[in-house]
Structure 1
Amino acid sequence: MKKTVLKRLSLTAAMAVGLGVASSASAQETVSAVTDPSFVPFEMMDKETGEMVGFDMDILREIADRAGFELDLRTMDFNGIIPAVQTGNADLAIAGITITDEREKIVDFSDPYYDSGLRILVPANNDSVDEISDLKGMSIGTKIGSTSYDFLQENLGDSADIKPYPGSADMYMALMGGSVDAVFYDAPNVGYFAQTQGQGRAKVVGPLYEGQQYGIAFTSGSKWLKPANEALAAMKEDGTYDEIYKKWFGEAPSKDGASQ
């Protein structure tokens, strides 16, 4: 009789422990995140699995795991990403977002996680473009809501036909189809296109313009900002960041943190 009672008590205790673990796991908060599905190799849709993959996705998932939150990830055009975070329709956004003074007025940025800049992409047979001033009188594709669009407006204005596109794939298609003479956009993205789909058909020319840093955008006052920064710092310290970087860019970042 005593053994039976003890067995029941043990079973009850085990169930309580199990329920406690389950309760703890289910208590993990879900954070809504948004990204742009067309910024390769930072974020893109795996056609076979339907899952978002890329450098940013690996960084974000590792941060979420270390900071202790689940992800509810949605995709949208880049120009809607900052407004979504600003209005609270998303808790955070990651999409190769350049940290700027204007954006910092409406969202909180994580510590920088990638150093970048802007580059020019032209057809492989174009030998007349070496710098931004050579684009005067030409049609230039860029992305709506991006810092590259702002840069073109400030430096070329009405002296060029600046054509903003909703997605990077659209502007590259326009370049390959002859609808624009050049593309001006984030260096890693144009470089990736030139080495993949555009190989032999397009090339990157000129210097790197506007040294930029990417950050994760959070709603102002977000409680997840500090845990995310701590997780990012730990990833850089223990080598996880370098592993992810090497996976997508073929080599580790230089010692000063700049992309190569």
Structure 2
Amino acid sequence: MKKGLLVAALTICSALSIANAKTIKIGTEATFAPFEFTNEKSEIIGFDIDIIKAIGAEAGFDVEIVNMPFDALVPSVLTSQLEGAIAGVTITEERAQRVNFSDPYYKSGISAVIRKEDASKYPTIDSLKSSRLCAQIGTTGANAAQKISGNFGSYNTVPEAIMELKTKGCEAVLNDRPVNLYFLRTQNDDSVVEIKELLNGEDYGIMVSKKNPELLKQINEGLDKIRKNGKFAEIHKKWFNVEE
């Protein structure tokens, strides 16, 4: 009898815990496939989305994904409109002065996509230094484009930048290599190719307000757990076809 009461009590506690699970608002910019983008049902999906939800499941919070422009993410975290953000955000000293970052969860780097017809003309990233370049606004790809060539254009989304390349409005699109590779793999478009060179390795992190160290701790602990229990490797293979 006592055992039955104990089981019932545990069941009630578990139900209450689920019902009372805190929901946190996490921002993203859903045009950065395969990290975050929308499917045919207008649902926000991607590697980052699966990662933060898996972290939340381990840390005991639910996640509400909020889609907004990339350059609005940091200000929204600073003003507490968001409690955090995950959007393929590179950990930089400048950003770290304004927000806290989780432990790195992904290592990336910048690569360049060019028109296939120009492959011999632009064999290296350095060969682009006198060319007009394109990148998404507010990204490290934009920073790299500015350093390589003073002549560059910023666009709201990656697809807009690629379209500018294809219509010869620029000579290359600078972006995180996983995004470039995903685009090339899924678009079945052989008119553009990647320069086989990687520019500066980068670590992605989850942004959290400096006013919320407890959430940062929960996210880091959740990230550590999904790495150890294999969930991270499972998600990575789902989106990149390799475990990590």
Task: Output the TM-score relative to the length of structure 1.
Answer: 0.85
Cα 1:17/1:148, change in 2 over 3 Å: closer
- The separation in 2 between residues aligned to 1:209 and 1:112, in whole angstroms, is 18
Aligned residue number for residue 142 of structure 2: 149
2:28 alignment partner, one of 24, 30, 35? 35
Structure 1 residue ranges without an equivalent (≥5):
1-13, 254-260
Which amino acid in structure 1 is aligned with residue 228 of structure 2?
Answer: E
Q: What does residue 167 of structure 1 align with? A: 157
1:235 to 218, 226, 229: 226
CA shift, 1:234, in A, is: 1.4
Paired with 2:129 and 2:234, the residues of 1 have a C-alpha distance of: 41
Instruction: Give the letter aligned to residue 153 of structure 2.
Output: K
Pairs within 5 Å for 1:84-233 = 84-126=76-118, 127-157=120-150, 161-197=151-187, 199-222=189-212, 223-233=214-224
The SS at the match of 1:224 is: helix
Q: How far 1:132 sits from its partner (Å)?
A: 2.5
Distance 2:185 2:18 in 1: 43
**Identity, % of aligned pairs?**
33
Counterpart code for 1:129 = Y
Flag the structure with larger Rg: 1
SS in 2 for 1:73: strand
Which SS does the other structure have where 1:30 is aligned?
A: strand
Which of 26, 51, 67 pairs up with 1:75? 67
- Rounded Cα–Cα distance in structure 1 between residues aligned with 2:10 and 2:126: 68
Q: CA deviation at 1:131?
A: 2.1
Native 8 Å contact 2:111 2:176 kept in 1? yes
1:181-204 per-position Cα deviation (integer Å, ceiling 9, x unaligned): 211111111111122215311110
Deviation at 1:36, TM superposition (A): 0.6
Alignment partner, residue 256 of structure 1: none
Q: 1:180 & 1:28 partners in 2: Cα distance?
A: 48
Aligned length: 237
How far did 1:73 drift? 1.2
| Residue type of the alignment partner of 1:144 | I
- Give the counterpart letter for 1:58 in structure 2: D
